[in-house]
Amino acid sequence: MYAINELAAQWFESHYEGSWAQEHLTGRTHVDLAGDRGARPGCAPDRWRGLVEHLQSEGVSEEEMLQVGVAFRSGRGRVVDLMRDRVVMPVHDDTGRIAGFVGRENPDNPGTAKYINTKRTELFDKGELFCSALPVRGQVAIVEGPADALAITIGSGGRVVGAGTLGTALTQGHAERLAELAQEPIVWRDNDGPGWEAAERDFRLLTQYGVEPLMTTGPEGADPADVLKTDGAAGIQTRLDQARPAGEVLIKYHLSAGRTSEAVSVAAEREPCYWAPDAARIANAAGVEVQAVRDALAAHVTGAAEVTLPLATGNEPRGVAAGTEPGAGFEAVQAADTGRASVREQLQTLAAQQRAGVVERSPVVAAQPAHFQRNLSSSTESERGM
């Protein structure tokens, strides 16, 4: 199967130079990547069976093409190319081999979907893989699309590896891979409402694996590829160097909009060493007693019943614990953290076993405290990026 993907990648590359795809991707990244052995950009011509016929000439059967996902059977029963009239990027797995592809439509000839990926196969699962020009290891920045991933890698000179999430939100599978890295990942989402929401989802998922990511963003309305084009490599490097712990950034973001309860909720996801300074910072910004914030923080951590929270100065409050005595907040928080640590250890052990093939992936939500009972693998299609 890998060999078929390699043949397909070579065919896409052979159609790249002089194509609209080369002009488009060069315009997005400000770098001509033709012939680059890391990125390996390609172009799928606007033909129904171009790749199919090429692979047949190489001795690949139609059934093998369907199995690896480079083709599909049309409504008329013919086996046709999956990628047509698209700029195509290979997607590598942990071995460095090509597991599948992601394709972006021709902006001058829009079709039914801006992006399409290889369908799920034995090798390819978009909830497990990233689109990246380099192996996903060391310092990694999580971004929206393939062009943004390239912009990070190019702009940082490979110091930070850009990793696109293939049109989905960050998933449990992604989080497992990131939790194994030696350095905290950087989350770089768009500087708008949906981008901040996505960054907070990333933060909440990763903290369940014992990882608090760093976070940065660009000017409003500019993604990493835009930053590379307008400000060059220096602009990318500056933004990456400005990355701060995501919890710190998100608390500041919510406080700036008067969302005190949301800031408390973010603080509850962080490690215990941050709770006291975060509570003091939130109390100072909201103009309330520190103890009131500590009690609200305890409620979020323990998953206690809720009553009206008189902290929020913006959106409607989420609540504090019913029956939580004033002054008892951090004692409850500390007790809850014992359970939290146990859950994190279970998640990390399970992730290691899953990666080694010892056990199959299964959600471990039922055993978690109420504080953690969220959907770990929500994936919403994204129309932004490359």
Q: How far out from the chain centre does Cα 116 lie?
A: 17
Q: Per-residue pLDDT tens for 73-109?
A: 999 999 999 999 999 999 999 888 999 999 999 999 8
Q: Who wins on pLDDT, 210 or 340?
A: 210
Residue range 133-151: average pLDDT? 91
CB-count burial class (<10 Å; 0-12, 13-18, 19+) for 298 = buried
- The shares of helix, strand and coil residues in the chain, as percent rounded to the nearest 5, are 45, 10, 45
Contact 1, 118 (CB under 8 A): no
> Which is nearest to 364 in space by CA: 378, 353, 374?
374
First to last CA, the chain: 27
Supply the pTM of this predicted model: 0.77
Q: Who wins on pLDDT, 364 or 271?
A: 271
User: Of 103-112, 158-167, 323-332, where does mean pLDDT reach its minimum?
Assistant: 323-332
Q: What pLDDT is recorded for position 353? A: 58
Q: Per-residue pLDDT tens for 39-77?
A: 999 999 999 999 999 999 999 999 999 999 999 999 999
Q: Who wins on pLDDT, 61 or 38?
A: 61
> Which is nearest to 21 in space by CA: 90, 81, 103?
103
Q: Which amino acid is at 230?
A: T
DSSP label at residue 134:
S
Q: Which amino acid is at 158?
A: G
DSSP label at residue 157:
T
Q: Residue 277 corresponds to which tokens in the numbers above? A: 């300074």
